[in-house]
A and B are shown apart, each in its own frame.
Chain A
C-alpha cells in the first residue's frame, strides 16, 4: 500500500471524498503496522467499523462534521470508552474506560476516527517518552534519538505519517517539546481553554490537552472542535476563541518580546541561531521586536517540579489495584495495594510520588509546596508585565534538539533541566505554540510563540504567517513523503 505521508486535514478529506474513510483509515493502519518507531500503545480495533459508519452516513456518528472520517491519534492518558487507556503504565494495563473524555466526545461528534492510543512517558512524567512501560518511542528523524515527551508518541506518529493529527497533553511542555523534537506543530492552550474531563491527571493545575498537527490550520480546526467551556470541568472557562478567523497572513505591527532568560547558558548554538533567524523573519514581515526581562524564570523549574509532584502524589493515590488495572496479591488490603503500587509504577513515577509526598508533609509543606505557590505567582507576574508591552513572546521551545535515547534517562536532574523554557508557561497558564523554525544537523528546532491569556488568536496569526512565508513545514523525516 501507500508510503507514509504527511497529510493535512484538507488533503485527508479530499482523499476520503475520492475514495472513503475506510480506505484512508486502512492505509494509516497499514503504515502503523509497518512502523519501527513504537508510537502506539494500543490500536483501536474498532477504527475500520467506525470509518464505515461515517462512509455510510450513519446518523449520530458525525458523518457531516468537520472531521468526518478523519483519522486521529490520541495520547494514552485521555479516557476512551472501550479502548484500553494505560498512561503507558503497567498499573493501568488492561484498563478499558467505560466513558469518553470530553474532547473524545467532541471529536466523535465531529466525525473523527480514532486510530489508537499513543505512547508517552508513564503518567506524562518525562521529556523523552523513555519512561513508558511499553518501550521508548523513536524519533522519526533519527531513530537513535528520543521524540521528546511526554506526548512523544502523539508527535512522532504525526511526523512519521502514521496519523494526520493527534492529541497530546501539556503539563510542563509535554506537547511543545515533542512537537519541537519531531518537527511538527503543537499548541498548549490557555489553562481552562479545553475541558480536562477525561484527561488522567498528573498535575491538574498545570496541564491542558493540546493538538499536534503538520500545519497551523489543522491546529485551528481541531481547537474549534475540542475547545470551549464544559460544565464537567470546573476549571474550564467560558471564553470563545475564533480559531479559523485567526488564520490571517499578516503580522504587520505585531510587537514581539524576546526574553533573554530563555536563551540562557547551555543553549545549543544552532537552536539559538534558528530562533533568532525566525525573529528576524518576523521583522522582515512587518513585526517589531524588543528584549523583555522575565527575572523569575530561573525559579520556575523548581517551583514547577514541586507543584507538579505534589499534585501527582495525590492524583496517583487512586491506583491501588482495588477497582481497575494491574493488581498484585497480598494478605490484606494494605499489602495488596502497596505491592500493586510497588510493582505497577515505574521508577520515575515512584520518584515523583515520593518527592511530592515529602513536599506536602507536615513540616515541609510551607518550605516546599507553599513556597512553590509563591514563586508561581511571581512567574505569572513576569508574564503579565512582559505581555503588557508586547503582543507575543518568542523563544526556543527546547534549548537543544532531540537528544540520544539513554543519554539523560539515568540523570533525572539533567532531564528536568531540559524543560527550562516550557514550564514557566504552564505556571503562568498562558497559551503557547511550538512550530518548526529550522534544522540543526538534520534535527528540527522548535520556535515557541507565547501569548496572553485566551489570546490564542494572536499566536495563531503569528504562527500561520510564519508558516505561509517560510518553508520550514515542508521538511520531513527521511522515508516520509
Chain B
C-alpha cells in the first residue's frame, strides 16, 4: 500500500528539548533543579543578564547536544559557534538569546518512523544549542491580566532545538515522529521528558505546495496532533472558499483546540543575528569519536537485538523498545524467567493493562512480574487468574501471593475436577445424549457445568478435555 497524501500535506517540526538532567545551566553555574522551588531562587548575574556578566559554555551541554545529534544520524560540525538573536521581551534578560545560527552543532540527519505506508524517513535539518528564556506568569487570565510576574529560574537552561524537514504527511506521522524522538531522548538520558516544559514544539504546515503557517505554543504530542488537524482543515477550508494561505505565525490555543494568527510575514522580527563576541568558536571535531563511544544502544538497535537475542517477533520487540524503561524492565524479567514465556506477559498483558490505566511501568515491580509468571509456569494458577492478579495489583496494590490466597485462585487439583466431571455427566443425562447424538453445543454446556462446580478454579481447557474423555469412554 502506498500513501498518496491527497492534500499534499507537508509538516515540519521544531522541537525544544530542555537539558534538565544537567547539573547546571547552559552558561552559568546555577542549578537546574528548580522545578519545586520558589521563583527567582536559581539565578546569578549571568542568567539574570546583569550588566558586565559573561557566559561560559557548559561542556556537558555540548556533549549532550552531540549525543542528540549523533543519535539523529546527523553530521557533527568540526567547529561550532554561538550567535545572538536580538529581540525585546520581558522574559529575555539580556535583550537577546544566545543561540546558534550558521554553525549549528549538528545537521543533516534522519529518523525512520512508522509512516502511513510503512517505514518513512524524516529528515533532520539541524540540531543546535541555545538558552531558555525566563517564564512569564500572568496574574489572572492573559487578556485581563493585571500584571505579569517573571521567574528567571528557567532563564539560561540549556536547550537543544531540533528542526526537521517538512517530511511528515499527516498529523499521525507528526505524532509518531514526536513519539520516536522522545523515545530517543529518553534512551540518551539527557532530559527528564516528564518534567514541565521539558519538550516544547512548533510546527509548520502547508498543503498542496502553498505557503506555510507556523504554529507555536504546542506543549504535548496529543496537542501537536490536534493543532495540526485543525490547521490542515483551516487551510483546506480557506482554499475551498477561494482564499489563499498566507505565510504567518499562528498560536495554538490548547484549551479551544484552535490556531490563531499572531503575525504575518511582514511583521516578522529581524533578529539581527551576529556572532556572540563573548564566546569564542569551539572546536568539537576531536571530541566526536569519544562521544560516539558513550552513546547508549538506541531504540532501533535494541529492537533488532531483542528479536535475535530473545527470539521474539518484531511486533513484540517494537512494543518493548518503545520506551527505555519498558525495555530495561523486560530485560530484568527475562534474566530471571524464560524469555519466550515472559515476552507476551510484558509486551502484551502488562503493557496493555498499563496503557488502559495510563500508568507507567514503575507501577508493577519486576519481582511481582517474575512471581506471577512463575505461578503460571508451575501450574499453580491459571493464565486468567494471573491477569486478574496483575489487574488487582495495579488497581489497589498488594502482593501477588496474598491476592492469590484471598481470592482463592489456587488451581484446583485434577481429582476434584474429575469428580466434578463424573457428577456433571451423571446429573445431565439429556445433554450427554444430545452430544452423543451430534449436538456439539452440549459439550460447552457440560464444560460450563464443571466450571460452575469448581467455581472457576479449574482450567477451562483441561476441564474440556476431561469431559470429552468421559463422553468418549
- Residues of A near any B CB (own CB < 8 A): 77-79, 85, 87, 92, 95, 97-99, 101, 196-201, 203-205, 231-235, 310-311, 313-314, 316-320, 322-324, 333-334, 337, 357, 360-362, 365, 369
A318→B95 contact, CB < 8 A: yes
Given contacts A319-B95, A322-B150, 10 further A-B contacts (CB under 8 A): A79-B50, A99-B50, A197-B52, A199-B52, A232-B56, A234-B279, A314-B272, A317-B95, A317-B96, A322-B90
Complex: how many Å from CA A79 to CA B51? 8
Jot down 19 A-B pairs with beta carbons below 8 A, ordered by A. Answer: A78-B52, A79-B50, A99-B53, A101-B52, A203-B277, A205-B277, A232-B54, A233-B54, A233-B278, A234-B280, A313-B86, A314-B86, A314-B272, A316-B95, A318-B94, A322-B150, A333-B148, A362-B270, A365-B274
> Which residue of B50, B86, B272 contacts A97 across the interface (Cβ within 8 Å)?
B50
Quick check: B93 and A318 within 8 Å, CB to CB?
Answer: yes
By secondary structure, the A interface counts as loop
CA distance in complex: A360, B49 (Å): 22
Per-position 1/0 for B42-60, Cβ under 8 A of A:
0001001111111111000
CB-CB under 8 A for A361 and B52, given A98-B45, A314-B86, A333-B90: no
Chain B residues within an 8 Å CB radius of A85? 51
Assembled-state Cα–Cα distance A198/B45 (Å)? 9
Kindly state whether residue B310 has any CB partner on chain A within 8 Å.
Answer: no
Instruction: Find chain A residues with CB under 8 A from B280 CB.
Output: 234-235
Residues in B neighbouring A333, C-beta threshold 8 A: 90, 148
Q: Chain A's nearest CB lies how many Å from the CB of B385?
A: 64
With the chains together, A152 CA to B121 CA distance in Å? 63
Contact B270 A361 (CB under 8 A): yes
Which residues of the partner chain A approach B84 to less than 8 Å between Cβ atoms? Answer: 314
B278 near A200 (CB under 8 angstroms)? no
Is the beta-carbon distance between B51 and A320 smaller than 8 angstroms?
no
Residues of chain B with a CB closer than 8 A to A101's CB? 52
CA A311 to CA B94, docked complex, whole Å: 13
Contact, CB under 8 Å: A200 / B51: yes
Complex interface: chain A residues within 8 A of B95 (CB): 314, 316-320
From residue B404, how far is it (CB to closest CB) to chain A in Å?
A: 62
Q: Given A232-B56, A333-B148, answer yes or no on A360-B274 (Cβ-Cβ < 8 Å).
A: yes
Complex Cα gap A84–B280 (Å): 31
Instruction: Determine how close the nearest CB of chain A comes to the CB of B262; give it in whole angstroms.
Output: 15
Docked Cα-Cα span, A197 to B44, in Å, equals: 13
Give the complex CA separation of A79 and B52 in angstroms: 7
Which of A232, A313, A317 has the most chain B CB within a 10 Å cutoff? Answer: A317
Known: A204-B278, A314-B274. A334 touches B88 (CB 8 A): yes
Residues of chain A within 8 A (CB-CB) of B278 are 196, 201, 204, 233-235
Which of chain B's residues have a CB closer than 8 A to the CB of A77? 52
B51 touches A361 (CB 8 A): no
Residues of chain B within 8 A (CB-CB) of A233 are 54, 278
| Known interface pairs A231-B56, A234-B55; A314-B148 also in contact (CB < 8 Å) | no
Within residues 25 to 53 of chain B, which ones have a CB less than 8 A from any CB in chain A?
Answer: 45, 48-53
Interface residues of B in 319-333 (CB under 8 A from A): none
Is the CB–CB distance between B55 and A198 below 8 Å? no
Q: Could you say which residues of chain A place their CB within 8 Å of the CB of B49?
A: 318, 323
* B148 CB to nearest chain A CB (Å): 7
**B positions within 8 Å CB-CB of A:** 45, 48-57, 84, 86, 88, 90, 93-96, 148, 150, 270, 272, 274, 277-280
Which residues of the other chain, B, contact A234 by a CB distance below 8 angstroms? Answer: 54-57, 278-280
Distance between Cα atoms of A196 and B148 in the complex (Å): 34
Judging by beta carbons under 8 Å apart, are B52 and A198 in contact? yes
For B270, the chain A residues whose CB sits under 8 A away are 361-362
Enumerate chain A residues within 8 angstroms of B57, measured Cβ to Cβ.
234
A317 touches B279 (CB 8 A): no
A25–chain B nearest beta-carbon distance, Å: 25
A78 to B51, CA, bound (A): 9
With a cutoff of 8 Å between Cβ atoms, the chain B residues found around residue A205 in the complex are: 277
Known contacts A234-B57, A234-B279: does B52 contact A200 (CB below 8 Å)? Answer: yes
Which residues of chain B are within 8 angstroms of A78 by Cβ–Cβ distance?
52
Residues of A within 8 A of B55 (CB): 234
A234 to B81, CA, bound (A): 13
A317 — nearest CB in chain B belongs to which residue? Answer: B95
Asked whether, in the complex, the Cβ of A323 is within 8 Å of the Cβ of B54, the reply is no
Shortest Cβ-Cβ A-B pairs, 4 listed: A317-B95, A204-B277, A360-B272, A205-B277
Closest chain-B Cβ to A317's Cβ sits at a distance in Å of 2
Bound Cα distance from A369 to B275, whole angstroms? 11
Contact of A317 among B52, B86, B274 (CB under 8 A): B86
Using CB atoms, name the residue of chain A closest to B84: A314
Report A-chain residues with C-beta under 8 Å of the C-beta of B53: 99, 197-198
Question: Is B51 a contact of A92 with CB atoms below 8 Å?
Answer: yes
Q: How far is the CA of A235 from the CA of B279 in the complex (A)?
A: 7
| CB of A54, distance to nearest CB on chain B (Å) | 26
Closest CB-CB distance, B161 to chain A, in whole Å?
A: 20
Q: How far is the CB of B414 from chain A (nearest CB, A)?
A: 77
A358 CB to closest chain B CB (Å) equals 10
Instruction: Considering the complex, give the chain A residue whose CB is closest to the CB of B152.
Output: A323
Q: A318-B94, A337-B88 are in contact. Are A323 and B48 (CB under 8 A)?
A: yes
Task: Please name all residues of chain B whose beta carbon is closer than 8 Å to the beta carbon of A98 when the two chains form the complex.
Answer: 45, 50
List A contacts of B54 (CB < 8 A).
196-197, 232-234
User: Is the CB–CB distance between A87 and B56 below 8 Å?
Assistant: no
State A317–B56 Cα separation when bound (angstroms): 20
Bound complex: CA A322 to CA B57 (Å): 26
> Which interface residue of B56, B148, B279 has the most chain A CB atoms within 10 A?
B56
